[in-house]
Amino acid sequence: MANLEIRTDGSARQTPPNDAALRQVNDPQSQVVRFPADAPLRLDSGREIAPLTIAYQTYGKLNAGKSNAILICHALTGDQHVANEHPVTHKGGWWSTIVGPGKPIDTDRFFVICANILGGCMGSTGPASPNPATGKPYGVEFPVITIGDMVNAQARLIDHLGIDRLFSVIGGSMGGMQVLQWCARYKERVFTAMPIATAPWHTAQNIAFHEVGRQAVMADPDWQGGSYYGTEARPSRGLAVARMAAHITYLSEKALQDKFGRGLQNRDAHSFSFDADFKIESYLRHQGSTFVDRFDANSYLYITRAMDYFDLEAEYGGKLANAFTGTKTQFCVVSFTSDWLYPTRDNKEIVKALNGVAANVSFVEIESDKGHDAFLLHEEEFFATVRGFLNAAAKKLGIA
């Protein structure tokens, strides 16, 4: 893998493309469904995407009644590799803590599906995919998409798998936004839903952090107006800066202080230079440089844009409850006390709206000092909540 070394002398201009990551765009190591050119996906913007490819992973077995399917929706920088070795990083799946045989999302019992989102870079159609009009990668010719578009694309996959109703739709962060959008657009198709550490709309501060990241990418001359594919350069420095800024928002102030504090990295005293003296600096640089090895900068632009556009209240006439009118879905909303990206306050807005339509909803605020990323970690109370909620609902449906 190509490693981006962020140098202080400003000399490092170019980073060789990461072949392992680029290969996933057109030839992903996962299952794939391709919808032909004559079956376009109509987008919220009015534009269309065709052909449409969805790359996905499944775990466990679909039962005869097709009643045990769980769709997991991934977050901004996640992908379909929930519980298997990642083909680029060779690390474990991003949610293998909670998804697997005997785990809270039990693949011995449930058929778990996760699709790379529309706009992603791990095999589903996105800005790095070939634009049928030119034969070259879309770049910024890719249409701006929404969370709703992602969900519509997922619904195509669920149709393809012959599943009428999902036992559950589960996701954290942007995954939670997709969960909410599923429950709004496909009411009859969602038996239970777990929106986790999420929000019904992006706040000004949420948008602000994303805009910093986008400007960092677009300020990098190697971005080349989005047409860097096929050149020797990629906007790795800009994307690394974007990732570093975002990463701060994923952790609580306390988590950063407990983990790094003012600790020095491999030294006893300040260097009186711009080296990574502090552990936190070294950690952030590492987060930036490993991220660019696996993620496409244009995908980052499009996905953050989709999140910023997300506003379920505005979409449903200025009243969030309208999104859930008539819902029969059983909801479990989960937030984490130290999450300042999508704080409990935002999650409670979802609960309030669901109560407004007398929906079946439980709400759990998990005590954690780990910040937003707590939903990715082994948090006992969270795991018990997921297990308990799914078990009770499975019992109702008679899932063995």
Residues recognised as catalytic = 173, 339, 372
With a CB cutoff of 8 Å and minimum separation 6, the contacts of 268 are: none
* C-alpha neighbours within 13 Å on the C-beta side of residue 148: 19
**135-147: burial string, b at 16+ Cβ within 10 Å, e else:** eebbbeebbbbbb
User: By C-beta, is 215 or 355 nearer to its own copies?
Assistant: 215
387: its two tokens: 């297990």
What minimum distance in Å lies between the beta carbon of 264 and its own copies? 11
**CB of 214 or CB of 370, closer to its own copies:** 214
Angle at 73 between CA 202 and CA 376, to 5 degrees: 85
Chain positions contacting its own copies, by CB under 8 A: 6-11, 13, 45, 47, 140, 143-144, 201-205, 207-209, 211-212, 214-216, 218-221, 223-226, 237-238, 240-241, 244-245, 248, 253, 256-257, 259-262, 270, 272-274, 276, 278-281, 284-285, 288, 301, 305, 308-309, 311, 314, 340
To the nearest whole angstrom, how small is the minimum distance from the Cβ of residue 144 to its own copies? 4
Residue 73: is it exposed, middle or buried by C-beta count within 10 angstroms (0-12/13-18/19+)?
buried
Please state, in angstroms and rounded to a whole number, the distance separating the CA atoms of residues 365 and 351. 12
Q: Which residues lie closer than 8 Å to 391 by C-beta, 6 or more apart?
A: none
Q: Of 62 and 218, which has the nearer Cβ to its own copies? A: 218
DSSP state of 90: -
Tell me whether residue 57 or residue 146 sits nearer to its own copies (CB atom). Answer: 146
Between residues 140 and 399, which has the closer beta carbon with respect to its own copies?
140
Picking from 251, 192, 260, the residue whose alpha carbon sits closest to that of residue 376 is 251
The answer to whether the beta carbons of residues 273 and 179 sit under 8 Å apart is: no
Question: By C-beta, is 9 or 380 nearer to its own copies?
Answer: 9
Q: How far apart are CB 220 and its own copies at their closest, in Å?
A: 7
Residue 128 carries which side chain, given as an amino acid letter? A
Q: How far is the CB of 289 from its own copies (least distance, A)?
A: 11
The token pair that represents 85 in the structure block: 């070795």
Amino acid identity at 173? S
Between the alpha carbon of residue 46 and those of residues 140, 149, 177, 306, 316, the distances in Å are: 17, 11, 21, 15, 18
Min CB(322)–its own copies separation in Å: 17
Least distance CB 308 / its own copies (angstroms): 7
Which one, 11 or 378, has the nearer CB to its own copies?
11
- Kindly state the smallest distance separating residue 119's Cβ from its own copies, in Å: 13
Q: Over the Cα atoms of the chain, what is R_g?
A: 21
For residues 355 and 383, the answer to whether their CB atoms sit within 8 Å is no
